[in-house]
Structures are given as structure tokens and as C-alpha cells.
Amino acid sequence: MIEMNMPSVSGSQGTKPVLSFPGTEAPEGLQIQVLDEGNGQVVEAGDTIVCHYLGQSWDGDVFDNSYDRGQPLSFQIGVGMVIRGWDDGLVGQRVGSRVLLSIPSELGYGDRGVPQAGIKGGDTLVFVTEILGVM
């Protein structure tokens, strides 16, 4: 089931996505929407995955993306190396999947935020993440 107030995503897999936000507030809790289901191996906690991603505050500005750098990010998933919303939202997904995550602040950067990145305390974060592979 698709959460009704999730952003819509335009742009094809492999290209920098553009998010359009509904006229509502961010949904409660972690929301996971598989936009394109991959057919690769299932990502398990402890795996080092390679991803392209776009990160944006809810109905706000893009604060980071790997597409503009032309360099995907690799990191260990499910072990606390990244924000908990990524750990919880990407473990169990398949390689090749494109996943939309709406991450509440308690699973992101909390009340502190990351002001230097443009993330305010309490911000809900939205990521479009393409899982390119497991190393």
C-alpha cells in the first residue's frame, strides 16, 4: 500500500530524481516505498552496499545527492554507520531496487539536525536511494 502523503518521484532510475511534495505534512514514522523492485540479492545487515541517492528535507531543499558528484556512496548497512532510517529502510531490499524513504527526525538527525548541511532539528528527511550492488 502506498502512503497517500508520500512525495511523488519523477526521473528514471539511474538519473537524479526530482521530488514533488503533497500539500500535507510528513507522514508519521518511517515510510518505505519501493519505486522499482530489483532482482538482485537481498541486502542483509552487515553488508557493504553501493548506492546512488538524493536526500531532501520534507518539502524543503535537497541537502545532498550522489548524482551530481557522479560517484555512488558505499557504506556498511544495518550496523549504525548511517542514520537509523537507512539501516531500517534498506536492509531487506534487493540490489537493483529504487526505494523512497521518509525518515522522521528520531530515525535521522534528531533535534540537533545538521545545520551546516541545511538540515534543521526535527526535520523529516526524504531519500530516493538506488541500491547498485553489494561489495
Query: Domain total for the chain?
Result: 1
Tell me whether residue 20 is in a domain.
no
Tell me whether residue 11 is in a domain.
no
Tell me whether residue 4 is in a domain.
no
Grid cell in block for residue 117: 548541511
Tell me whether residue 56 is in a domain.
yes
Query: With 60 as the cut, is the pLDDT of residue 2 above it?
Result: no
CATH number at residue 87: 3.10.50.40
pLDDT tens readout for residues 33-52: 999 999 999 999 999 999 99
pLDDT tens readout for residues 75-87: 999 999 999 999 9
Tell me whether residue 40 is in a domain.
yes
Residue numbers of the domain that contains 95? 26-134
Alpha helices (runs of H) in the chain, residue ranges in sequence order: 84-90
Q: How far apart are CA 52 and CA 13, in angstroms?
A: 10
pLDDT tens readout for residues 85-111: 999 999 999 999 999 999 999 999 999
Residue 1 is predicted with a pLDDT of: 43
pTM over the 0.85 mark? yes
Q: How far apart are CA 31 and CA 103, in angstroms?
A: 7
Grid cell in block for residue 48: 557493504
Tell me whether residue 18 is in a domain.
no
Q: Name residue, grid cell 522499482.
A: 36
Q: How far apart are CA 119 and CA 59, in angstroms?
A: 12
Mean pLDDT value across residues 9-28: 91
Residue 4 is predicted with a pLDDT of: 61
Query: With 90 as the cut, is the pLDDT of residue 70 above it?
Result: yes
Tell me whether residue 2 is in a domain.
no
Q: How far is CA 99 from its chain centroid?
A: 7
CA distances from 41 to 107, 110, 135 (A): 25, 32, 11
Tell me whether residue 21 is in a domain.
no
